[in-house]
Structures are given as structure tokens and as C-alpha cells.
Amino acid sequence: MKAGNDAERQLASFIAKYTPEIAALALEIRARMRAKYPSALELVYDNYNALAIGYAPGEKTSEAIFSIALYPRWVSLFFLQAKGLPDPDRILKGSGTVVKHVVLRTADDLEHPSVRALMQEAVQGAKVPFAADGAHRLIIKSVSEKQRPRRPAEKSKVAVKAPRSTGAATRIGASQ
């Protein structure tokens, strides 16, 4: 058995911990990211707070340009080199100076003009560019033993509130 198959199997088991809706959304977003950046290495971190899949030109985490992060109720696209990234539509969320994110409600949000423009700018301004002809690899970088629940807590008669940072997703959907 190839190491790549083992990594794919392991990633599938990480994603399976989420609700079917979040898992399906994550798989579709991942497929689109792989289609957009076929030479990117996927660096997987099954961390305490979230499952993150980084997209990098090499194995160094510091060179990753994007990541998708799965949470119990949403999936975010993180821009890991966002410092100086032009955001005229103000869709980026986060208080950090280097890392910002956009909540993706659907995989089609990746195709929204504002998101596409940010992604293009992020790739053009990256410290290390994606290789034009590199081969894709999936690498499991770390797995935390202790993790927050991957599914939302069951609440009776309480409406589920959207995360505070979803203003971007709301604006993305509203402007289409």
C-alpha cells in the first residue's frame, strides 16, 4: 500500500468525524482547491480546534498560502499570507495582521469574484510560488490527541447562531 493511499484514508477518517453536511462541503471545497492548484502539497493538521488542510508549494508550513479549516458548523478559507492583501470588498475576517479568513457557506463561494481576486492576489504575492508542474502530495503533518468535538452540541429548542465572523459569507451570498 502506498503512503499516499494511507494519508487519503487517514484524511477521510478525520473528515468523517464531522456532520454529513460539513463533510460534503469540505470534500467539494478540497476538490476545487486541488483543481485550482494541482501542484500544491496538501498539509493536514488535525488540531485541537479544527481540521486544517494547508496548500503549500513545499513541505514547510510557513510557505503555505491557503488552508481550509473545518469547524463543527462551517468551513473557512484562510489566507495565510494576508498581510498587505488588497481587500476592497472587505470580506476578509480576523483580527490578526498576517492571517485572515472567509467563511465558505457553499463551495461556489470559492468562485465569487471577490474571493477569486483575493486568491489570485495571494498566489501572486506568495513568499514561495506554487510550482508550475509539481506533483500533488497529501502529507499528514500532525494529529492532536485531545480535540474539541467535531460535531455541534445537541441543543434543545435553541436556534443555532452563525459564527460572528460570517459577515463575509453573508456579504458574499448577498452580492451574487
Distance, in Å, from the CA atom of 110 to the CA atom of 73, rounded to the nearest integer, reads 18
Domain range for 150 is 3-174
Q: What is the pTM of this model?
A: 0.84
Q: End-to-end distance of the chain based on CA atoms, in angstroms?
A: 45
- The yes-or-no verdict on residue 176 having pLDDT over 80 is no
Q: What is the pLDDT averaged over residues 17-35?
A: 98
Please state, in angstroms and as integers, the Cα–Cα distance from residue 29 to each residue in 24, 62, 150, following that order.
9, 22, 18
- Give pLDDT tens digits for 60-85: 999 999 999 999 999 999 999 999 99
The domain total for the chain is 1
Burial class (CB in 10 A: 0-12, 13-18, 19+), 125: middle
- Give pLDDT tens digits for 33-56: 999 999 999 999 999 999 999 999
Average pLDDT, the chain: 89
Q: List, in order, residues 6 or more apart from 38 with CB less than 8 Å away.
A: 136
Q: What is the pLDDT averaged over residues 113-140?
A: 94
**Neighbour tally for 28: CB within 10 Å:** 16
47 neighbors 142 (Cβ within 8 angstroms): yes
